[in-house]
Chain A
Amino acid sequence: MKYIKLVLSLLATIAIFYVLNTKLGDLPPLGKFLAPTEGIWQNETDDATSGIVSIDGLENEVTVHYDAQLIPHVFAKNDYDLYKAQGYITAKHRFWQMEFQTFAAAGRISEIIGEKGLEFDRAQRRKGMLFGAENSLEVIKNDPESLKYLEAYSDGVNAYISQLKPKDYPVEYKLLGYKPEAWNIDKTMHLLMYMTDMLCGKDYDLEYTNMLRKFGEERFNLLFPDFFDVNEPVIPKEQDWSFIDVEQTETPLSELPLDSISETMVKPHPNNGSNNWAVSPQKSSTGNAILANDPHLGLKLPAIWFVMQLNSPNQNVFGATLPGALGVIIGFNNDISWGVTNATRDVKDWYKIEFQDKSKQAYKYDNGWKKTSVRLEEIKIRGKETYIDSVIYTHHGPVSYDHTFKSDDEKKGFAMKWAGHKGHNFTELFLKLNKGKNYDDYLDAISNHVAPAQNFAFASTQGDIALWVQGEFANKWEGQGKFLLDGSDPEHDWQSFIPKEFNPHIKNPERGFVSSANQHPVDETYPFYVFNDGYETYRNRVINNYLRVRETVNIQDFKNLQNNNYNLKAKELIPFMLSHMETPALTKDEQLLLNHVRQWNFNTSLDNVGPSIWSTWIKHLYRMTWDEFDAKGEALTAPFMYQTIYMLKTHPNDPFMDIIDTPEKETAIDLFSLSFKAAAKELNEWKTENGDYEWRHYKGAYVGHLLQSLPAFSRFDIPVGGDRHTVNASGVNHGPSWRMIVEMSSPPKAVGIYPGGQSGNPGSVYYDNFINDWAAGNYYDLLFMQDENTTEGVTSTQTLTPKQ
Chain B
Amino acid sequence: MKKNLINFIATIIIALILSQFLPWWSVMLASFLTAIIFALKKSAVFYIPFLAIAVFWIVYAFWLSSSNDFTLSKKIAVLLPFQGNPYILILVTGIIGGLAAGIAAIFGKQCATLLKTKA
A interface residues with partner B (beta carbon < 8 Å): 2-3, 5-6, 9-10, 12-13, 16-17, 20-21, 30-32, 34-46, 166, 171, 175, 710-713, 761-765, 767
Contacts and interface: CB of A to CB of B under 8 A. Distances in A.
A44 B65 contact: yes
Nearest to A8: B110
Given A9-B103, A9-B107, A38 B78 contact: no
B24 A39 contact: yes
Contacts of B64: 36, 41-42, 44-45
B19 A31 contact: no
Contact of A44 (B19, B72, B100, B117): B72
A34 B25 CA distance: 11
A2 B106 contact: no
29 contacts: A2-B110, A2-B114, A3-B114, A5-B113, A6-B110, A9-B106, A9-B107, A13-B28, A13-B107, A16-B104, A20-B24, A31-B24, A31-B25, A32-B23, A34-B61, A35-B23, A35-B57, A37-B19, A38-B19, A38-B23, A39-B24, A40-B72, A44-B65, A45-B64, A171-B72, A712-B78, A762-B72, A763-B75, A767-B71
A17 B100 CA distance: 7
A31 B100 contact: yes
Contacts of B111: 6
Contacts of B49: none
Given A2-B114, A40-B72, A711-B79, 17 more contacts: A2-B113, A9-B103, A9-B106, A9-B109, A16-B28, A20-B24, A20-B100, A31-B100, A36-B64, A44-B64, A171-B72, A712-B78, A713-B79, A762-B71, A762-B72, A765-B69, A765-B71
B13 interface: no
B110 A44 contact: no
B33 to A, nearest CB: 13
Contacts of B23: 32, 35, 38, 166
Interface of B: 19, 23-28, 32, 57, 60-61, 64-65, 67-73, 75-76, 78-79, 89, 92-93, 96-97, 99-100, 103-104, 106-107, 109-111, 113-114, 117
B100 A713 contact: no
A16 B24 CA distance: 13
A37 B17 CA distance: 11
A24 to B, nearest CB: 13
Given A32-B24, A34-B92, A36-B60, A763 B110 contact: no
Closest 3 CB pairs of A and B: A763-B72, A35-B24, A712-B79
Given A13-B103, A16-B100, A710-B79, A763 B93 contact: no
Contact of A713 (B75, B96, B106): B75
Contacts of B28: 13, 16-17
Nearest to A167: B23
A16 B71 CA distance: 29
A6 B35 CA distance: 14
B71 A764 contact: yes
Contacts of B96: 20, 30-31, 34
Contacts of A42: 64
A725 B114 CA distance: 77
A791 B107 CA distance: 60
A769 B32 CA distance: 45
B68 A763 contact: yes
A711 B99 contact: no
A761 to B, nearest CB: 8
Nearest to B89: A34
Contacts of A166: 23
Contacts of A13: 28, 32, 103-104, 106-107
A10 B104 CA distance: 8
A43 B72 contact: yes
Which of B23, B92, B104, B109: most chain A Cβ within 10 A?
Answer: B23
B7 to A, nearest CB: 17
Contacts of B60: 36-37, 41
Listed residue (B99, B103, B106, B110) with the most chain A CB atoms within 10 angstroms of its CB: B110
A45 B73 CA distance: 11
B93 to A, nearest CB: 4
A761 B68 CA distance: 12
Contacts of A711: 78-79
Contacts of B113: 2, 5
